[in-house]
Amino acid sequence: EIKNELINNEVYKRVKDYSKNRNELSTYYNVGKLLIEAQGGEDRARYGDGLIKEYSERLTKELGKGYSIRITEVGKKYNYKTLLKMRKFYLVFKNFSTLSRHLTWSHYCELLTFDNVDEINYYIKQTGDYNLSVRELREKIKSKEYQR
């Protein structure tokens, strides 16, 4: 009975983690879509980041530091990368039929550096087939495995 309880708990944690990851990806995808719409569509969104800066400041006041502006020694550097990543996440993956259930937000952030859809698909497949951690995915990308 003890073993069954522990197994049930592990299954529950995995299901919970899967649901949490799915919800997180869905949320970030939808935020990216809303940012594009707020900027007047894809063509205008590619050029203007002023609205992202404004949203960053507002979200920091309302939700906390996850969207804050960071000051560096070099001067003012705006840290609204999370919102930019969400916007790019939507732009890159809007034409995919589904998001891979094997990848986390951190995996997708690594893939957002690519413009080549075939390269993205390659690394998605590799991650799913070999259950790669983000660190392992990073190593494959760094070694330029796709180009070989």
pLDDT of 109-147, one tens digit each? Answer: 999 988 898 999 999 999 999 999 999 999 999 999 998
Query: CB neighbours (10 Å) of residue 40?
Result: 11
Evaluate if residue 35 carries a pLDDT over 70.
Answer: yes
Q: Which of 48, 45, 67 is nearest to 56 (CA)?
A: 67
Q: Which of 92, 87, 109, 85 is nearest to 35 (CA)?
A: 87
**Could you give the residue ranges of the DSSP H alpha helices within the chain?**
2-38, 42-45, 50-63, 81-93, 105-111, 117-130, 134-142
Asked if residue 126 lies in contact with residue 111, where contact means CB atoms within 8 angstroms, the answer is no
Global pTM? 0.76
